[in-house]
């Protein structure tokens, strides 16, 4: 047993559901107790989804516990097959079903006889893998399933596309800025004259997965999701993959050069050097920003970076290499892939922290006292408490990290967004100096009464105590409304009764 | 649609139970705040932790007095000793937080692996010297708010069984305030006592924010009824005394286990009343308590009328409109009854679980309200099926759907007004004073959408071409 207040990566089934519901017309059925379908709330809330999340639960209740699921799971699968006519139904085990040890494979086989849709059991062990690993695995499983299916039916298309083309693998729902990254990557491919063959899983149809081998190469923007599929496709079809995350000016260039090399090896004759130079020097503002006097003021400032492998590694490199910021500590919660992270960042930071214990990161931040933190929502809250600004760069995230405006982290527009994020997270240059010279902001002492809300009315003890129980953000309003009510009726003392009367009358 | 019909009795149906609701472990979020000296330990898996972390959003960051005892593979396969593991964690909690009580929340996993929490608790309690309350708030058996029911039912056993000789201790603690009030205190107490009618002790049950506790207590005080205690109280160490023959009354519709436990195990007498939600409910609740104690209620007519008058601006927005409850928190019957009294119609009340005995008075009031308002009685669907409900919603086109967050955005995108049901659980909705807050919530989508209505954006999904 582990005492835990917070976790960075979710349970395995979340990863499976993220993949399944990213595809078009794929339905996931969770074998789970009541209340475990919280994924639907997250997707509906965070992504502001207009459509129903294609996830239902086959409820495990007391009866199931006593007698087994029997027909229930099979019935739920065939019912969903009729109601929604999905292409694929993914039966998703949860922590509960992994200990019930029901033969879910058998349910899948039985349901497959009747269902028009393909039916598959997500092959993930709740106690061994987390959300990210499960997502990677499920995507791989679905890709393999449809490649094998096409192969059996002899429907696997021959050869590559005429022009250089790419599969972008790993864009998924509830991923950090995934939608924006996807748009930016497509734009980048268009600029490079590369056709986008398939984007998976987001918005893809499983019927198109058989086309994956037609691409000249695969691009895996995120370390966490897509690597297994890329390796499978390489092994089966010899499709090379690029796993350099195009995040930051230097890495984007490196990614593009790698693409160039791969394409040329297959007989294309492309040279992207001019494009890279033009983008770097004149289109993206990030390289110029690093050179500008603003960024000078950031030189040597201390920062802490924490997040998933992809974002924490890329951010560390950007801060250290492109902005001259002193990254004291870089860390990741992807413990299962720690070696990769160490290798990526070791030359760009003083310390490396591999941990999924938020307390350990909090303590490290308190000890280091950086000028800024780049982390998850958890680090943002640590920053709030310690009065250190924080830019959010990785999941776990809240609704404010699903912006409506265009905010990619990848590609050349991504470099601009990151420059803004970094710049806004540090106290601005000149302001910083002025604060030093004048000894801090002078805002405490009241100079004029404009923003004061003190009044002449007397609150008795009980009423004052009651008022203090009102949550801070509405207390002022309640106070004003109550006093207005009291004044209008000529009370000069505010008692509990007056408070309630005011509330009843004006909704104070 | 609202043509007066023959009075019908309520119809009950039961569907498949494929519906969306919160896991009952969510009760720790409000109970740890209510019981200030408690610590809640949820013994479960990452799934439970992930739910709490996301559902409780910002509260997680405020140093909550709850945590997960996250079960690992070794715990499931019994390679690790449950007792030793729990002891290790509880000792750590005692060291770091020093709570007056640790509440263990059993989950689906502890049920399935049959971890004997009730058996382990007394042993560990004796060993570490902190009371341990065990509640099985799991998704196999319960929905959302029923979590609170399991915790309160477990706490009933911990309530002292006779009034301790409290005076001495209390005076000790209040030494300073006594000094300050020198000479005045005694008269005050006497004066206060005399404001109450002589009646057997009454204990109320149900976790309420403190302002609502004060409010309802004062409301009863106006009738001369003294509230001897409240389960739960602000602190675990202040749990109310429960002696045989005490009267108890519930303030929330989802507390049936607690009510049963109070009756069977502590020999208390349950006052079965409608719940104090809406001015009609509050009045009926007070009247029922008064009638049990043989008190003639004073001034309730005017009080209720005055509240209704103050609600008129909101009622105008919903009068004649229809509301559909998909069902997820067991407040549905009371809310529907109040909204019908406000002039709405209600074709369907979905509800996770319907205790017809505990809610008898509330159901009777619902039926009576429908007759008096001349509207058809709603169909009450226990264990609803969300998919079927959505088909019915498309057919019925209700003006307002009260539903969970999983369906709210998709329904809004299809031009159907929704209100997120969980807000009713966290908002203050009890008593005369808070009636306005219920309508504030219920009318919000209507007010918002009427201010957008000329934009022509009510349907924001393309019609799906179904194969």
Q: What is the pLDDT along chain B (467 residues), one digit of tens a residue?
A: 444 445 578 999 999 989 999 999 999 989 998 999 999 999 999 999 999 888 876 566 667 889 999 998 888 888 889 999 999 999 999 999 999 999 999 999 999 999 999 999 999 999 999 999 999 999 999 999 999 999 999 999 999 988 766 554 444 455 555 555 554 444 444 455 568 899 999 999 999 999 999 999 999 999 999 999 999 999 999 999 999 999 999 999 999 999 999 999 999 999 999 999 999 999 999 999 999 999 999 999 999 999 999 999 999 999 999 999 999 999 999 999 999 999 999 999 999 999 999 999 999 999 999 999 999 999 999 999 999 999 999 999 999 999 988 999 999 999 999 999 999 998 999 999 999 999 999 999 988 887 777 777 777 777 654 44
A167 CA to centre of own chain: 21
Nearest to B160 by CA among B236, B258, B214: B236
- Please indicate if any CB of chain A lies within 8 Å of the CB of B92: yes
Helix A72-84 to helix A104-114 angle (10° resolution) is: 40
* CA A457 to each of CA A497, A508, B41, B433: distance values in angstroms, whole numbers, following the listed order: 15, 16, 45, 22
Cα distance between residue B121 and residue B98, in whole Å: 17
Question: What is residue A306's three-state secondary structure?
Answer: strand
Closest chain B residue by Cα to residue A463 = B211
Contacts of B85 in chain A (CB under 8 A): 1
User: Do A99 and B75 lie within an 8 Å CB cutoff?
Assistant: no
The 3-state secondary structure of chain B, one letter per residue: CCCCCCCCCCEEEECCCCCCCCCHHHHHHHHHHHCCCEEEEEEECHHHHHHHHHHCHHHHHCCCCEEEEECCHHHHCCCCCHHHHHHHHHHHHHHHHCCCEEEEEECHHHHHCCCCHHHHHHHHHHHHCCCEEEEECCCCCCCCCHHHHHHHHHHHCCCCCCCCCHHHHHHHHCHHHHHHCCCCHHHHHHHHHHCCCCCCCEEEECCCCHHHHHHHHHHHHCCCCCEEEEECCCCHHHCCCCCCCCEEEECCCCCHHHHHHHHHHHCCEEECCCCCEHHHHHHHHHHHHHHHCCCCCCCHHHHHHHHHHHHHHHHHHHCCCEEEECCCCCCHHHHHHHHHHCCCEEEEEEECCCCCCCCHHHHHHHHHHHHHHCCCCCEEEECCCHHHHHHHHHHHCCCEEEECHHHHHHHHHCCCCEEECHHHHHCCCECCCCHHHHHHHHHHHHHHHHHCHHHCCCCCCCCCCCC
In contact, B275 and B250? CB cutoff 8 Å: yes
Q: Residue B250 phi/psi, 5° resolution?
A: -90, 150
User: Do B139 and A42 lie within an 8 Å CB cutoff?
Assistant: no
Q: What is the pLDDT of residue B419?
A: 95
What percent of the residues of chain A are helix, what percent strand, and what percent coil, each to the nearest 5?
50, 15, 35
Q: What is the pLDDT of residue B232?
A: 94
Among A286-290, A351-355, A502-506, B45-49, the range scoring the smallest mean pLDDT is: A502-506
Q: What is the pLDDT of residue B1?
A: 45
Cα distance between residue B344 and residue B373, in whole Å: 9
- Whether A448 shows a pLDDT value over 60: the answer reads no
- pLDDT classification of A179: cutoffs 50, 70, 90: very high
A363 is catalytic: no
In contact, B147 and B425? CB cutoff 8 Å: no
Tokens 């439970």 label which residue?
Answer: B48
Q: What is the pLDDT of residue A478?
A: 83
Q: What is the pLDDT of residue A507?
A: 62
* CA B39 to each of CA B2, B82, B129, B233: distance values in angstroms, whole numbers, following the listed order: 50, 19, 14, 15
> Hey, what are B398's tokens?
């209700």
Q: Give the closest-approach CA distance of A76 to chain B in angstroms.
A: 10
Query: Choosing among B409, B437, B441, B459, which should be mutated to test the A contact, i.e. which has the most A CBs within 10 A?
Result: B409
Q: What is the pLDDT of residue B187?
A: 46
Closest chain A residue by Cα to residue B386 = A56
pLDDT tens-digit readout, A207-261: 999 999 999 999 999 999 999 999 999 999 999 999 999 999 999 999 999 999 9
Please count the other Cβ atoms lying within 10 Å of the Cβ belonging to residue B83: 15
Which member of B46, B433, B460 has the closest CB to residue A504?
B433
> Hey, what are A183's tokens?
């748009």
- Please indicate if any CB of chain A lies within 8 Å of the CB of B42: no
Nearest to A73 by CA among A38, A25, A13, A121: A121
> Which positions 357-386 of B are in contact with A (Cβ < 8 Å)?
none
Cα distance between residue B250 and residue B258, in whole Å: 9
Closest chain B residue by Cα to residue A398 = B57
Which member of A3, A35, A99 has the closest CB to residue B139?
A35
Q: What is the pLDDT of residue B230?
A: 96
Instruction: Look up the ipTM and state it.
Output: 0.88
Tokens 């003021």 label which residue?
Answer: A297
- Whether A442 shows a pLDDT value over 70: the answer reads no
Residue A394, judged by CB atoms within 10 A of its CB (0-12, 13-18, 19+), counts as buried
Q: CA A181, A183, A184, A189 torsion: positive or negative?
A: positive
- Please indicate if any CB of chain B lies within 8 Å of the CB of A473: no
- Please indicate if any CB of chain B lies within 8 Å of the CB of A124: no
User: Do A62 and B68 lie within an 8 Å CB cutoff?
Assistant: no
Confidence (pTM): 0.89
Strand ranges in A234-350 using DSSP code E only, listed in sequence order = 241-242, 302-307, 326-332
Residue A187, judged by CB atoms within 10 A of its CB (0-12, 13-18, 19+), counts as middle
pLDDT tens-digit readout, A458-481: 888 888 888 888 777 678 888 888
Half-sphere exposure of B46 (CA within 13 A, CB side): 21
Among A19-23, A386-390, A425-429, the range scoring the smallest mean pLDDT is: A425-429
- Please indicate if any CB of chain A lies within 8 Å of the CB of B64: yes
Tokens 């992809």 label which residue?
Answer: A310
In contact, B362 and B338? CB cutoff 8 Å: no
The helix (run of H) or strand (run of E) holding residue A22 is: helix A12-22
Cα distance between residue B11 and residue A212, in whole Å: 55
- Please give the mean pLDDT across all residues of chain A: 90
């Amino acid at each position: 047993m582990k005492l835990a207040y917070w976790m960075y990566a979710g349970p395995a089934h979340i990863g499976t559901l993220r993949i399944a519901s990213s595809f078009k017309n794929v339905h996931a059925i969770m074998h789970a107790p009541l209340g475990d379908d919280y994924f639907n709330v997250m997707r509906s809330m965070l992504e502001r989804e207009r459509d129903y999340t294609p996830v239902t639960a086959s409820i495990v209740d007391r009866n199931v516990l006593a007698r087994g699921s029997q027909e229930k799971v099979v019935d739920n699968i065939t019912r969903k097959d009729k109601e929604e006519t999905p292409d694929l139904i993914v039966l998703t085990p949860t922590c509960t079903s992994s200990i019930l040890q029901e033969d879910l494979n058998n349910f899948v086989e039985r349901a497959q006889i009747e269902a028009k849709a393909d039916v598959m059991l997500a092959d993930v062990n709740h106690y061994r893998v987390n959300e990210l690993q499960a997502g990677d695995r499920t995507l791989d499983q679905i890709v393999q399933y449809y490649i094998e299916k096409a192969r059996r039916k002899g429907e696997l298309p021959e050869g590559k596309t005429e022009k250089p083309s790419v599969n972008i693998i790993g864009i998924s729902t509830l991923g950090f800025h995934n939608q924006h990254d996807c748009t930016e990557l497509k734009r980048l491919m268009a600029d490079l004259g590369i056709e986008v063959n398939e984007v998976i899983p987001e918005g893809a149809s499983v019927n198109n997965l058989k086309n994956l081998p037609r691409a000249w190469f695969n691009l895996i923007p995120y370390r966490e999701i897509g690597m297994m599929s890329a390796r499978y496709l390489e092994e089966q079809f010899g499709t090379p993959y690029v796993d350099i995350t195009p995040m930051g000016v230097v890495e984007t260039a490196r990614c593009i050069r790698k693409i160039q090399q791969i394409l040329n090896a297959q007989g294309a004759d492309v040279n992207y050097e001019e494009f890279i130079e033009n983008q770097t020097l004149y289109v993206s503002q990030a390289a110029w920003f690093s050179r500008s006097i603003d960024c000078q003021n950031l030189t040597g400032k201390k920062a802490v970076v924490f997040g998933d492998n992809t974002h924490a590694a890329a951010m560390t490199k950007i801060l250290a290499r492109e902005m001259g910021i002193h990254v004291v500590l870089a860390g990741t919660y992807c413990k299962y892939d720690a070696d990769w992270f160490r290798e990526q960042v070791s030359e760009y930071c003083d310390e490396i922290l591999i941990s999924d214990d938020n307390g350990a990161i909090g303590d490290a931040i308190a000890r280091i006292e950086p000028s800024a933190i780049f982390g998850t929502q958890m680090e943002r809250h640590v920053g709030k408490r310690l009065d250190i600004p924080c830019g959010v760069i990785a999941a776990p995230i809240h609704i404010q990290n699903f912006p409506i405006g265009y905010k990619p982290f990848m590609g050349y527009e991504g470099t601009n967004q990151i420059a803004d994020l970094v710049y806004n997270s540090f106290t601005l240059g000149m302001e910083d100096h002025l604060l030093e010279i004048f000894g801090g902001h002078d805002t405490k002492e009241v100079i004029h009464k404009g923003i004061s809300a003190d009044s002449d009315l007397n609150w008795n003890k009980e009423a004052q105590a009651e008022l203090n129980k009102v949550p801070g953000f509405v207390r002022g309003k309640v106070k004003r409304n109550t006093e207005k009510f009291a004044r209008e009726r000529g009370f000069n003392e505010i008692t509990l009764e007056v408070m309630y009367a005011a509330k009843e009358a004006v909704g104070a | 649609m609202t043509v007066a019909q023959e009075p019908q009795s309520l119809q009950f149906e039961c569907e498949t139970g494929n519906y969306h609701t919160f896991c009952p472990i969510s009760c720790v979020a409000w109970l740890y705040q209510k019981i200030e000296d408690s610590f809640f330990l949820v013994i479960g898996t990452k799934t439970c932790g992930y739910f709490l972390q996301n559902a409780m959003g910002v509260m997680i960051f405020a140093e909550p007095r709850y945590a997960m005892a996250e079960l690992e593979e070794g715990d499931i396969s019994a390679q690790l000793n449950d007792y030793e593991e729990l002891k290790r964690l509880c000792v750590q909690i005692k060291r770091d937080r020093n709570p007056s009580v640790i509440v263990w929340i059993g989950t689906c996993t502890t049920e399935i692996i049959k971890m004997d929490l009730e058996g382990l608790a007394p042993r560990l309690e004796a060993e570490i010297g902190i009371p341990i309350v065990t509640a099985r708030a799991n998704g196999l058996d319960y929905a959302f708010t029923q979590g609170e029911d399991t915790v309160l039912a477990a706490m009933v056993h911990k309530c002292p069984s006779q009034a301790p000789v409290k005076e001495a201790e209390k005076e000790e603690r209040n030494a300073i305030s006594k000094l300050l009030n020198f000479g005045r205190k005694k008269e005050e107490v006497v004066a206060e006592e005399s404001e109450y009618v002589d009646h057997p002790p009454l204990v109320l049950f149900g976790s309420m924010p403190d302002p609502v506790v004060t409010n309802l207590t004062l409301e009863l005080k106006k009738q001369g009824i003294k509230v001897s205690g409240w389960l739960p109280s602000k602190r675990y160490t202040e749990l109310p005394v429960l002696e045989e023959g005490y009267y108890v009354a519930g303030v929330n519709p989802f507390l049936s286990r607690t009510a049963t436990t109070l009756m069977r195990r502590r020999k208390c007498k349950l006052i079965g009343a409608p719940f104090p939600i809406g001015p009609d409910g509050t009045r009926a609740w007070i009247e029922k308590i008064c009638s049990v104690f043989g008190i003639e209620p004073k001034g309730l007519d005017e009080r209720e009328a005055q509240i209704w008058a103050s609600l008129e601006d909101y009622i105008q927005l919903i009068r004649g409109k229809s509301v559909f409850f998909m069902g997820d928190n067991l407040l549905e019957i009371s809310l529907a009854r109040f909204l019908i009294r406000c002039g709405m119609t209600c074709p369907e009340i979905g509800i996770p679980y319907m205790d017809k005995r505990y809610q008898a008075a509330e159901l009777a009031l619902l039926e009576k309200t429908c007759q008096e308002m001349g509207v058809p009685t709603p169909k009450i669907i226990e264990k609803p099926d969300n998919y079927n409900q959505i088909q019915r919603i498309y057919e019925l086109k209700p003006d307002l759907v009260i539903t969970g967050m999983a369906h709210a955005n998709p329904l809004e995108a299809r031009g159907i007004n929704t209100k997120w049901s969980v807000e009713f659980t966290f908002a203050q909705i009890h008593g005369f004073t808070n009636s306005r807050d219920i309508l504030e919530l219920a009318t919000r989508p209507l007010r918002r959408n009427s201010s957008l209505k000329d934009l022509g954006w009510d349907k924001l999904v393309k019609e799906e071409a179904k194969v």
